[in-house]
Structure 1
């Protein structure tokens, strides 16, 4: 396969890219647009659009996707009522139910350029039905999409009956990542202990860590410092992720100044889910009302790895969602006040390269000679134009094969609306 007339991120020239044996081969600069050769069955004309590494969804709950309103809606819009509604839905889970919803949601994500997903799967279910189902799906779908599974104790590790045993059983079954939710544990002491336990389990089973950390407006919720310090002491910060950290929006700047020193030294990554956090947080405020989204811009400017995610698609916590990470990125740039040219011109990293670091797949990710030939084609010449236009992903290639393709949006009316 040969791709011609392609733009690459942070490059001003056009390029042609060879794909051989499922890997990127020679990448050659072009002087100008080239015509599509005749009988070009294995040639793709990018037409000056941006060829980009695939989108990554670093934080989503596929086990709960497409369950909003079953059996009841989250009327308050709070995180905690969402957990209550999900607890009512869990007894209805079956393998067939989970597979059906998961496959529909994965298909939606793939249609929008996603080729790697980290999904949090609830382990506060004595049967671990969802966890077992996703481990099977990971194997079945490995040639189509990369799936990482987080053993996520939605109702707590230490506060849920046998929560510690269940999360360890999930790791023995095959979960890739150890999860936690310290702010939902009954006491501060239990929350702190759960973070120590998470790191200990990750070391015992040689797994990654991704914690729902301080997803609350409480400025006194400071489990992030425990997670980061434990990661630092264990020398495994590059394998640890803190998701949400919305309490950081409520921390004062003096504390954050101290905290950022630890965060940078620890080397942990961050995931923010801006559309969900702006919806769930600030629910106990009248006015002034918090955004309740972590300090994405400040983390990014400090050189700390941070990426954006969708979190939910039509579930008890979030009743919208369509699998479009460009929509999440657009909203995140607005919400986090990252609307300067320099912010936008590099913003695709928040749903690509930074996410690859979070998932620990950066060594086999990206458009470079010798790497797996996974890429997507976006409408626009660079990050800025792609984000501004917000058009559908045009093409998705995995292991050198086209897995999704659509034509660019065209106006039905050809004549100019306003004469030149």
Structure 2
């Protein structure tokens, strides 16, 4: 691979512009900007912000873009599960791949360089979605790194045959074993579900990424599993290798319970991934006043030391009828709905989609540092807070040092004074 330089880049932690030297698809050095002219192949950032590639740490590519086929007018989780289960019966490898490609292409244009995808694995759809994601993992390997989660959307215990399908999915090359505790009928079955997921993780030596506690509150004990999962994580020696998506009910628990649950998660090394577009849409449907937002308490997660990311989750389907695979838009939504503001908060929100998400995915050659893969995004913003506030263009998206997407824009303000 060739060598080139990103000149005059604005990066976090530096008071002045920097030059980023790239060799062989990796960052070779980051030095103060020299002012040297750009050689052929170099990129002049002209003071614009450069960030590490964005990471979709929880994305359902197989179920994306289904809203045009059948929307969810009730807007409830139960209706979303039923509608999607019905639609899954007609899935084919070609239709799954076609919809997933549209979202992957959009994500890349928006600066995403890594995706953890959660294809359904269950008796309804079998391994159709899983196999499609494995195909796309290879097809897109030069543009985006795709981790594949074997995800039991319909439950495990209540959906006989799912356990065998999960095992086969891992044998075929799934990177992560998933879970969906909220779709089991009672607390004992939820606990059994957790044990089975961790058994598979031990058998295949893979991480765990579960959907859990997706409810407005914890009045039903099936949606108060944070402490239990933390305990199992510690018992199984899985610290740093477990992520929990949604975790809405944390926000609906008392302050004392919440403090204890977050401390347990932090001590066990369990990450939490709020999914604000979905969590806002599905939550509070029965509230007639002061409708709950349903987003896990981000600032409290930070303060407790819990590794915390966020992601798009679903794009235009029965669970989330919005979205365009733009993590900076989702980050701004999270900030607006979680009382996060100011440069320090916005920097941490951006980190949730970059360096913190990299911890969730277990990435070791990621980041804006010498030696890391040159997975980078040049934004149109010239200050770091503007990475979220400006809704900036992704001027260049680099994957291992190769430009895989670019955005150009000409804007003219008519009638401006001379």
Give the TM interval when normalised to the shorter protein: over 0.9
Change (3 A) 1:214 1:342: same
Which residue of 1 is the match for residue 325 of structure 2? 323
> C-alpha displacement at 1:128, in angstroms?
1.2
Q: Which runs of 5+ in 2 are unaligned?
A: none
**Equivalences for 1:61-210 in 2 at 5 Å?**
61-70=60-69, 72-124=70-122, 125=124, 127-210=126-209
**Equivalences for 1:17-416 in 2 at 5 Å?**
17-30=20-33, 34=35, 36-37=37-38, 40-70=39-69, 72-124=70-122, 125=124, 127-220=126-219, 221-361=223-363, 363-407=364-408, 409-413=409-413, 416=416
| 2-structure distance, mates of 1:342, 1:413 | 32
| 2-structure distance, mates of 1:384, 1:126 | 43
Which residue of 1 is the match for residue 10 of structure 2? 7
Counterpart contact for 2:88–2:125, Cα < 8 Å: no
Provide TM-score, normalisation by structure 2.
0.95
Once the two structures are superposed, residues 219-253 of structure 1 have per-residue CA deviations (whole angstroms, 9 ceiling, x without a partner) of 13211222111111112120100110001111111
SS at structure 1 position matched to 2:71: coil
| 1-structure distance, mates of 2:41, 2:387 | 26
> C-alpha displacement at 1:23, in angstroms?
1.4
Most deviating of 126-135 and 234-243: 126-135
Counterpart contact for 2:11–2:384, Cα < 8 Å: no
Once the two structures are superposed, residues 282-334 of structure 1 have per-residue CA deviations (whole angstroms, 9 ceiling, x without a partner) of 11211121111111111012221101111111112111111111110001001
Most deviating of 95-104 and 168-177: 168-177
Most deviating of 158-167 and 50-59: 158-167
Provide TM-score, normalisation by structure 1.
0.94
RMSD value, Cα: 1.6
> C-alpha displacement at 1:385, in angstroms?
2.0
| 2-structure distance, mates of 1:225, 1:346 | 25
Most deviating of 352-361 and 161-170: 161-170
Q: Which runs of 5+ in 1 are unaligned?
A: none
| 2-structure distance, mates of 1:6, 1:112 | 19
> C-alpha displacement at 1:379, in angstroms?
2.1
SS at structure 1 position matched to 2:7: strand
| 1-structure distance, mates of 2:287, 2:215 | 12
SS at structure 1 position matched to 2:29: strand
SS at structure 2 position matched to 1:237: coil
| 1-structure distance, mates of 2:317, 2:137 | 22
> C-alpha displacement at 1:139, in angstroms?
1.9
| 2-structure distance, mates of 1:109, 1:340 | 27
| 2-structure distance, mates of 1:55, 1:298 | 23
Counterpart contact for 1:272–1:293, Cα < 8 Å: yes
| 1-structure distance, mates of 2:400, 2:203 | 33
> C-alpha displacement at 1:185, in angstroms?
0.1
| 1-structure distance, mates of 2:393, 2:200 | 41
| 1-structure distance, mates of 2:382, 2:349 | 14
| 1-structure distance, mates of 2:347, 2:62 | 34
SS at structure 1 position matched to 2:394: coil
> C-alpha displacement at 1:126, in angstroms?
5.3
Counterpart contact for 2:147–2:175, Cα < 8 Å: yes
